[in-house]
Amino acid sequence: MDAVYRNQRHFYDLTRKYYLLGRDLLIERLEPEAGSHVLELGCGTGRNLIAAARRHSNVRFYGIDISSEMLETATANVAKAGLSDRILLAKGDASDPSAPSVFGVGAFERVFFSYTLSMIPVWREALQTGAGALAEGGRISVVDFGQQERLPGWFRALLHAWLAKFHVTPRAGLDQELAVLAAAEGLQKRFLPLYRGYAVYAELGADGASLYSPATK
């Protein structure tokens, strides 16, 4: 991943804002209570963590990424934003269930994945890592590429070919895998296509938790 991001990290946020759709919805929906701990698995440049930390001043945020290059950029971005005291970063593999333990936090009230599962070959294992780090009553949030089922076939073919150049594969089995995980963990699932299937947004939460629906947007 360092080879992929060595140069991309310098203009990643500038270009990705035009097609990594749904990230701001995820951040808006985090809704952590004061004193909570929020973990992003695959934090990249730190863009999401910084945006979330600015919204929630009494919450601590944590990010793990496998790329040293991305973490270098994220660390600089967090420092520039003046948030180094509330955003902690560490190198780690999101598919490693022990990775979140580096922060010494027992469990996280919110765990989220933003356009990372489509880049992690063992993405199912990454979801398991997230579930294992989740506090009782917590919530897992996911936003990523969808299957573009309501978009023209030519657009879908071009998008998939372009994404493949960056080692990105939209996960056709994501909805099913989240359903399996929800059943195993005793969680409720909400899975919604966004922008005619260009992206998908999902939440797994405890029974009775306020999961996203279009009416709450």
The CATH number covering residue 25 comes to 3.40.50.150
**Does 217 score more than 50 pLDDT?**
no
| pLDDT the model gives residue 60 | 98
**Does 134 score more than 90 pLDDT?**
yes
Q: 46's torsion region: left (phi>0), alpha (psi -120 to 50) or beta?
A: left
**Does 163 score more than 90 pLDDT?**
no
Label residue 97 by pLDDT band (50, 70, 90): very high
**Does 18 score more than 60 pLDDT?**
no
Place of tokens 């919204």: 55
Q: Are the C-beta atoms of residues 51 and 26 closer than 8 Å to each other?
A: no
**Does 12 score more than 80 pLDDT?**
no
| pLDDT the model gives residue 57 | 94
Label residue 21 by pLDDT band (50, 70, 90): confident
Within-domain flag for 22: yes
Show the tokens assigned to 160.
């998939």
Instruction: Give the distance between the most distant pair of CA atoms in the chain.
Output: 48
43 or 12, which is more confident? Answer: 43
Within-domain flag for 211: no
User: Which backbone phi and psi does 62 adopt, to 5 degrees?
Assistant: -140, 140
Could you give the number of structural domains in the chain? 1
Within-domain flag for 215: no
Label residue 209 by pLDDT band (50, 70, 90): low
> What average pLDDT does the segment 74-82 reach?
96
Place of tokens 């994945």: 113
Q: Which residues are within 8 A (CB) of 78 and not within 5 positions of it... i.e. 6 or more apart?
A: 46, 49, 50, 84, 87, 89
Within-domain flag for 217: no
Which residue range forms the structural domain that includes residue 23?
2-206
